[in-house]
Amino acid sequence: MAGREERRSYLLIDVCNVIHAVPSLRKRLSDGLDNARDALAEAVLPIHDAEGLNVVLVLDSTNDKVQTEYPYGKKTFEYLYAPAALSADGAIERVIARLSDPSSAYAASNDNMVRESIRSLGANALRPEELLDWAAGCRAQIQRDLERKRKQASTAWENRLEF
């Protein structure tokens, strides 16, 4: 709507923390952090697509400044590399603290202190298993919607063939 500020909801994920908490992702570390990070991104992409959230996978780095990558070419799904002076945990807390409506944000971490900090800022904290359950539900929703649309398209096509 013109003249209204668009409300943006976020899902921030502490990548290394979540990877180490999930056995299937932790196994992917043997092929490198990028491999495990990409597997996590694939796992949570349905949340982005079904819920319309801005998804930010936050990683520690040795960079002097914040850097971002857009693995799917979407500005609403990104890898954010925290500057060396700020951990991924700190970057997540800082992003949430700067939101005009933290209650619309979610953050996933297996660290109790981080989750408590996130909650104290007014955001919603998720454990890694809750994040993956949410992603599975979104994947199922997308599949149901796709099946419904295929059925509608098939019925419409069949109706056109009648003479």
| Token duo for residue 160 | 């056109």
Task: Say how many C-beta atoms besides its own lie within 10 A of residue 163's C-beta.
Answer: 2
Q: In whole angstroms, what is the distance from residue 88 CA to residue 8 CA?
A: 21
pLDDT in tens, 6-63: 457 999 999 999 999 999 999 999 999 999 999 999 999 999 999 999 999 999 999 9
Q: What is the pTM of this model?
A: 0.86
pLDDT in tens, 62-114: 999 999 999 999 999 999 999 999 999 999 999 999 999 999 999 999 999 99
Mean pLDDT over 104-127 rounds to 96
Helix axes 33-51, 128-160, angle to 10 degrees: 50
| Token duo for residue 163 | 């003479």
Domains and CATH numbers, the chain: 10-160 (3.40.50)
